[in-house]
């Protein structure tokens, strides 16, 4: 009896020493967390692990990118992706010049997504910045058989036909809850990379309510998404509204393909 007790105690101690509370291990459960969506009325649906952005308030791009990576079996959490792989730059107000400076969102995430409002709060970034960030993940982890590709300027009908119908989920840029977009704060660009259509010193105005989510399916009436905003889960939005918001954000999308 004593031997059994000792063995049991040793096992417990050993398990306690394993850092099973590490974030990546917690989120590993998301690999098998799929949501049951009634299939009778859905033309096409792709199972993609779901993550919400409740603890990364303005980090929809990083969270959606993580969902996309997890759908291909990559073992990474949303916080790890944001902290270690997402290209990001702060914005700030120069009291001397009474001017706001920040990066081009085509080149880097703007601000801090953990801050909801105020100085250096999170704004977001666009498809080219996420392409570079996901490919940064691939490079660091020596993954050379896949790559992220930003596909901009193409209609949703093309994306559905060429990717969704071939079981390839897509990041798309639209708006939160598919509400109308609006122009908000402007700043002077102080960082731009090779993907930028702007140059240092240009003015940029942010498109308010910008949102990135994962397109996973469709039917005659709706497009279906893994939507991290407000823990929406898998949600369907009217096709016409989605297409309108998608167009307002410049028809930006991103996929992962094999090399």
Per-residue pLDDT of 154-212, as tens digits, reads: 999 999 999 999 999 999 999 999 999 999 999 999 999 998 999 999 999 999 999 99
**What pLDDT, on the 0 to 100 scale, is given for residue 33?**
40
Cα gap 238→232, rounded to integer Å: 15
String of b and e for 15-28 (b: at least 16 CB within 10 Å)? Answer: eeeeeeeeeeeebb
Tell me the angle at which helices 127-140 and 60-71 cross, rounded to the nearest 10 degrees: 50
Residues 6+ apart with CB under 8 A from 35: 50, 233, 234
**73-87 per-position pLDDT tens digit:** 998 999 999 999 999
37: tokens are 């969506």
CATH of the domain at 230: 3.90.70.10
Q: Which whole-number Å values give the CA distances from 70 to 30, 90, 195, 230, in the listed order? A: 8, 27, 26, 20
Q: How many domains would you assign to the chain?
A: 1
Asked if pLDDT for residue 67 goes beyond 60, the answer is: yes
Give the percent of the chain with pLDDT over 70: 84
With left for phi above 0 and alpha for psi between -120 and 50, is residue 91 left, alpha or beta?
Answer: beta
Return the bridge partners of 178, or none: none
**57-66 per-position pLDDT tens digit:** 999 999 999 9
Cα gap 42→148, rounded to integer Å: 27
Residues 6+ apart with CB under 8 A from 67: 48, 49, 50, 51, 214, 226, 228
Asked if pLDDT for residue 72 goes beyond 70, the answer is: yes
Q: Are 139 and 231 a contacting pair, CB within 8 Å?
A: no
Asked if pLDDT for residue 90 goes beyond 80, the answer is: yes
* pTM of the predicted model as reported, rounded to 2 decimal places: 0.85
Query: How are beta strands 92-94 and 99-103 bridged, if at all?
Result: antiparallel
Cα gap 59→46, rounded to integer Å: 23
Give the containing element (helix H, strand E) for 184.
strand 182-191
Query: How are beta strands 109-110 and 88-89 bridged, if at all?
Result: parallel
Domain that holds residue 119: 2-258
60: tokens are 């929809």
């Amino acid at each position: 009896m004593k031997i059994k007790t000792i063995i049991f105690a040793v096992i417990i101690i050993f398990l306690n020493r394993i850092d099973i509370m590490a974030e990546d291990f917690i989120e590993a459960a998301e690999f098998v967390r799929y949501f049951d969506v009634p299939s009778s009325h859905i033309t096409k649906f792709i199972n993609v692990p779901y993550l919400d952005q409740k603890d990364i308030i303005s980090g929809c791009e990083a969270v959606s990118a993580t969902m996309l990576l997890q759908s291909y079996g990559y073992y990474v959490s949303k916080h790890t992706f944001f902290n270690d792989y997402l290209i990001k730059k702060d914005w700030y107000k120069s009291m001397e010049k009474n001017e706001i400076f920040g990066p081009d969102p085509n080149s880097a995430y703007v601000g801090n997504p953990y801050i909801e409002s105020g100085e250096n709060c999170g704004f977001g970034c666009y498809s080219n910045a996420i392409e570079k960030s996901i490919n940064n993940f691939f490079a660091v982890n020596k993954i050379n058989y896949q790559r992220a590709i930003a596909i901009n300027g193409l209609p949703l009908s093309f994306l559905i036909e060429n990717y969704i119908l071939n079981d390839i989920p897509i990041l798309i840029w639209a708006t939160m809850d598919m509400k109308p977009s609006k122009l908000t704060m402007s700043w002077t660009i102080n960082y731009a990379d090779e993907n930028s259509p702007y140059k240092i010193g240009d003015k940029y105005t942010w498109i308010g309510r910008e949102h990135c989510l994962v397109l996973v399916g469709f039917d005659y009436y709706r497009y279906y998404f893994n939507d991290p905003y407000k823990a929406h889960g898998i949600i369907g939005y009217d096709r016409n509204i989605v297409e309108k918001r998608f167009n307002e954000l410049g028809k930006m999308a991103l996929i992962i393909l094999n090399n």
